[in-house]
Structure 1
Amino acid sequence: MRYLFEDYALDLDRRELYRGADVVPLAPQVFDLLDYLIRNRERVVSKDDLINAIWNGRSVSDAALTTRLNVVRSAVSDTGSEQRLIKTLPRKGFRFIGPVREEGRDSPAVVDTRAEPGSPALPPPGRPSIAVLPFANLSSDPEQEYFADGVVEDITMALSLFRWLFVIARNSSFTYKGRAVDVKQVGRELGVRYVLEGSVRKAGNRLRIAGQLIDTETGAHLWADRFEGPIEDMFDLQDDVTSSVVGAIAPKLQHEEIKRARRKPTENLDAYDYYLRGLARARWSKDANSEALQLFYKAIELDPHLACAYGMAAWCYVRRKALGRMNDQALETAEATRLGRKAVDLGADDPFALCMGGYALAFLAHEFDDAAAFMDRALTVNPNFARAWMLSAWLRIWRGEPDLSLAHATHAMRLSPRDPSMYYTTHSAMAYAHFLAGRYDVALACAEEAMRDNPGFLLSICIFAASNAIAGRLEQAQRAMLRAFELNPHLRAANLAELAPFRRSEDLANFAGALRAAGLPE
């Protein structure tokens, strides 16, 4: 079922609000509020009606209700003074007054962001959509696997620069790596119309990239080609693949948009090779993270203008601090801040560098406002970058903006529905956002979901402990804190801000108080 009004469409099956072909990010509660107002548009709904329907009868202040209604109005370009769509009737309630047309579906869709093979279909968005599946490594050297993965990463990012194209994130596509797949099934599970699959063969100084574009509804091959040349022309070959795929999907695409997809991150193939190796090693473990950091430094040494390498090097320090593994906190924080600033300075049009460098500046240097500006720029350059939406959700938590955090986390999940790491980190972010908003029962549910997928993620464990403590489930809270101490024996109330850098003192105090009740020492 969809409600159509003006140039908006509220899709109840997908739980998404569209303006034209673009998704308008909405927090779940804001979506429910708009849905309720439209469903009951034939009458005036009172404050009590809204509280019972949206907040399950919990006590909600007039200010909180007004704030939520203002968010709804903002989402549909309405204002409290104009009241073009949502009218306030003093001392009576509210009513959606815009003309609405209902549009049904032949077969209701079931949205499942954790889709496994054979699971219900994820409906495609209202614009062309594509998943770039892992390319087969046909090189004789199995150690070159990272190279094939890097090719897919670059093609995915290049396609994502096109605003009209919905691109599934690399990590979700990579859940199909190493196994034969039915492209029709992939289309159903990821909710995409097209799939790009291919292979990379690297032998000596020669490189061949082969690719084929497939319609997931019919299984028809829309395009197939191969590109071969010396390794020095690697980026030209990747550009040809990207341009040909885009041309097959939208023949009328403007030339300038194709030029944007042909940007090259560096002309120094040695530096970029080290960067790809660093990406392959970057993990949430001390040894792997240290190895990745050295590889990124090597890439920077060979190409001092490689913005994405600075961003990932700064991200390695974010991991160190989150794991409680910094040896010299002042020195390493200063170095991470330097790297983050270099990333955003050199990568003014590189969404990856802006995202990673910006988040490092927030998490390590507490430059929250600058970080938000860099993150917003990254999302403007590449609105299909799932990781940027996810990290933006975390940034909004530290800034004390829970509703915006939920909206960004929800969008991240839609862009990358099968990425395991995205799943637990995004659900953990949702848990913190609900905790900040005082919805402790929902926070607990999100934390449980995150911990099921990764029981070793410290931030998830801490919000699980805090939510249980506030709910009076002290035994569960204390068990969670014991697990947290196993991961970081040095965790204390005094240094909690190093793990959770809340800008608002009241947010940190509330979090710390709950964890003290769970057993966190001073």
Structure 2
Amino acid sequence: MVENSVQRRLAAILAADVVGYSRLMGVDEDGTLTVVRNLRAEVIETRIAEHQGRLFKSMGDGFLAEFPSVVKAVACAVALQKDMAARNAELPEDRAIQLRIGVNLGDVIAEDGDVFGEGVNVAARIEGLAPAGGIAVTGMVHDNVGSRLDLSFEDMGEQQLKNIAQPVRVYRLGAPSGTSVRPTAVERIKPSIAVLPFTNMSGDPGQQYISDGITEDIITELARFHGLSVVARHASFHFANKGKSPIEVARELGVAYVVEGSLRKLGGRIRITAQLVDARTGNHIWADRYDRDAQDIFAIQDLVVAAIVTMLEGRMHAAEAAKARAKPTTNWSAYDCLLQGRDLCDHQRDAEAVPLLERAIAVDPHFALAHAWLAIALTMSNVILLDDDQMAKAESASKQALELDTNDATSHWARALYYLWTGDHDRSRFHFDRALTLNPADIQIKGDYANWQRASGRPADALATIDAAIGLGPFVPDWFAAVRGLTLFDLGRYADAVEALESVPVQRSSGLLYLAAARAQLGDLTGAREVIAEVKLVKPDLSLRNVIQVLHYARPEAQQHLIDALRKAGLPEQYVRPLRAS
């Protein structure tokens, strides 16, 4: 018996066809076949192999290939179009061979060497939207490429594709005229860098949050420079206290450079050492030590960022690095409170973070980042029983953060989350887009953006986004599994939803409700009711009426899907206050 090998996976798919193939065949059938055959052997197959892709289907007038990453797929598409332009420059216009190319990131099914499924179908459909000699990509590809390649994109809006249920956002790559790809766009891959957690040399484990917070801020500042590709915080922090050398870490993360350092805080003084290592040679490119008052922490961070950028991007000047930041605060006490509050939020202890962040604002009312994180903490600690007073504070804090610094990614993220959980999907999308433009390396923003896609009626896109975010590195936030579980429930994949949600170490109430709903849909009513009982230990007055008030699905049928499942799981229609004993 022969075993049939079927595998479902996320893949970047490139679809291409020859423009005007029928006309060319009509003019010169033998000549056209020869040219296309040579083109495939000399250019197409070579370029696909160079970018670690695999040609899995070849037709007379087109081909399909899969790649391990969207960056490689798009870089290959650009290289192909550059090659085609060079070849066509030597041919008469009526004999030129031009390609249209479409690139999509989506779920595919692989069987016996072939690849099919909606991920392939979408790539083939959007290829027809590309101009001759041009490239079209889906919103998923656009969002995941971010600033990793030096490319320009033109938003073509949402497109209704044949035999695809949901509209797909499409972007056109290239010059504004859309007739050709810019020559400067070809594969200018950026220097890649990881910032390892700075070692706490203070002798007090309770001050670890300071070292972690400063490391995180350096990562954020480096990510502002679109000339660098910066590894996300959670991937870097996985290597804390692992005893691995910078070269070993770089190999696992796939980067060329590593920043490492240490911090010692004694009283009001702070000493930071930092060094930049070329992981390919092991050589130290730059190292320095800073011994300052704690109040000067941001000046030190600016010097570290400026030095790294100057070393890796010769065209950037230290003055530009200094201008990249609007100074968040000059008060160490406010910054210390922010670091503690942000650390609690990172561990889903949002309610505990609120007083610390309020204290930071009391010390420095102009501290935009503290306002932003206060808004995030207030919003995320109230996602099921939305307390009107608390959400009003979240709205005010997120608004104040943007008024203080309109170019801060965290401030836009905070505003996007507030609108997400209060049902204004359009405004939420605007601020998510802005946040990701300002800091495309922030993996947490991408995770919450997937939640926006889910709530706005695009669960398939949401699943692709969260899977792509998880695929950016082996070490991602625990709550990504919760977003994935919620999305899988919306897609009706209940067993997969249960598996994802049960893997989350610390559950918010929202995750537990979806876990109960998924179990109920699978017929495990006992397990569903156990989870409901667990939620009601924290929120004893929770009812379906509460859930309906705070659910803001763009599609009513998606909301009803969850409500019906929660009803089946035993969540009461409304809270009935128990009678007091007389």
CA distance in 2, matches of 1:248, 1:139: 29
Going from structure 1 to structure 2, the CA distance change for 1:440 and 1:366 (only over 3 Å counts) comes to: closer
Q: What TM-score, normalized to structure 1?
A: 0.74
Please state how far the C-alpha of 1:205 moved relative to its aligned partner: 3.3
Residue 252 of structure 1 corresponds to which residue in structure 2? 315
The amino acid of 2:440's aligned partner reads P
Query: Structure 2 CA distance, aligned partners of 1:160 and 1:22?
Result: 26
In the alignment, is residue 169 of structure 1 matched against residue 235 of structure 2?
Answer: no
Which residue among 449, 463, 466 is the counterpart of 1:392? 449
Aligned match for 1:307, one of 368, 375, 379:
368
> Which residue of the partner structure matches residue 202 of structure 1?
265
Compared CA separation, residues 21 and 332, structure 1 to 2 (3 A): farther
Equivalent position SS for 1:229: strand
Deviation at 1:354, TM superposition (A): 1.2
Query: 1:32-59: per-residue Cα shift (whole Å, max 9, x none)?
Result: 64557889xxxxxxxxxxxxxxxxxxxx
What is the alpha-carbon distance in structure 1 between the residues aligned to residue 504 and residue 479 of structure 2?
A: 9
Q: Which one of 452, 472, 480 corresponds to residue 426 of structure 1?
A: 480
Structure 1 pair 152–433 and aligned structure 2 pair: CA distance change class (3 A)? same
Contact 1:444–1:464, Cα closer than 8 Å, also in 2: no
| RMSD, matched Cα | 3.8
Q: Is contact 1:462-1:481 (8 Å) kept? A: yes
The match for 2:509 is 458
The question of whether the paired residues in 2 share the 8 Å contact of 1:289 and 1:316 is answered with yes
Could you tell me how far apart the structure 2 residues matched to 1:483 and 1:334 are? 28
The 8 Å contact of residues 13 and 104 in structure 2, kept in 1 or not, is answered as no
Letter in 1 for 2:390: E
Which of 1 and 2 has greater Rg? Answer: 2
Task: Show CA shifts across 1:169-196 (max 9, x none).
Answer: 2233222223422333322333322221
Per-residue CA deviation, residues 345-388 of structure 1 (Å, 9 max, x unaligned), is 3231000111023212331x333322221121111111111111
Task: Give unpaired runs (5+ residues) of structure 1.
Answer: 40-62, 85-124
Query: Where does 1:9-158 land on structure 2 (aligned, <5 Å)?
Result: 11=53, 12=66, 14-16=68-70, 18-20=73-75, 26-28=105-107, 33=118, 35=120, 66-67=163-164, 71=168, 74=170, 127-158=190-221
1:342 aligned partner, one-letter code: Q
Alpha-carbon separation, structure 2, partners of 1:225 and 1:240: 10
Q: 1:142 to 1:149 in 2, by over 3 A?
A: same
Is the Cα contact below 8 Å between 1:162 and 1:257 reproduced in 2? no
Name 1:440's counterpart in structure 2.
Answer: 492
> Is 1:382 the equivalent of 2:479?
no
| Alignment partner of 1:412 out of 457, 466, 469 | 469
Q: Normalising by structure 2, what TM-score?
A: 0.67
CA gap of 1:506–1:10, structure 2 versus 1, over 3 A, is: farther
The answer as to 2:559 corresponding to 1:508 is yes
Q: Which amino acid aligns with 1:369?
A: D
Provide structure 2 residue ranges, at least 5 long, that are not aligned to the other structure.
1-11, 17-43, 54-65, 79-102, 110-115, 125-159, 180-187, 574-582
Match of 2:9 in 1: none
**Equivalent position to 1:159, from 222, 233, 236:** 222
3-state DSSP class of the match of 2:285?
strand
- Considering Cα pairs closer than 8 Å and 6+ residues apart, tell me whether 1 or 2 has the greater RCO: 1
What secondary structure is seen at the aligned counterpart in 1 of 2:366?
A: coil
Q: Which amino acid aligns with 2:70?
A: E
Q: Decide whether the 8 Å contact of 1:344 with 1:374 is kept in 2.
A: no
1:415 shift after superposition: 4.4
Q: Does 1:518 align with 2:573?
A: no
- Confirm or deny that 1:185 pairs with 2:185: no
Q: Paired residue for 2:403, among 345, 354, 363?
A: 345
**Is the Cα contact below 8 Å between 1:161 and 1:260 reproduced in 2?**
no
| Residue aligning to 1:115 | none
Aligned 8 A contact 1:355 1:375 in 2: yes
Q: 1:298 to 1:506 in 2, by over 3 A?
A: same
User: Residue in 2 aligned with 1:212?
Assistant: 275
Matched, 1:489 2:540: yes
Q: Is the 8 A contact 2:13 2:105 kept in 1?
A: no
Q: Supply the distance in 1 between the matched residues of 2:511 and 2:238 (Cα, whole angstroms).
A: 23
- Please say if residues 517 and 528 of structure 2, whose CA atoms lie closer than 8 Å, have aligned partners that are also in contact: yes
In 2, Cα distance between equivalents of 1:343 and 1:281: 20
**Partner secondary structure for residue 503 of structure 2:** helix
Equivalent pair of 2:482/2:504 in contact (CA under 8 Å): no
Q: Is the 8 A contact 1:427 1:447 kept in 2?
A: no
Task: Pick closer, same or farther for the CA change 1:367–1:76 going to 2, 3 Å.
Answer: closer
Contact 1:307–1:347 (Cα < 8 Å) also in 2 = yes
Q: CA deviation at 1:428?
A: 2.4
Please give the alpha-carbon distance, in whole angstroms, between the structure 1 residues aligned to 2:379 and 2:247: 39
SS at match of 1:225: strand
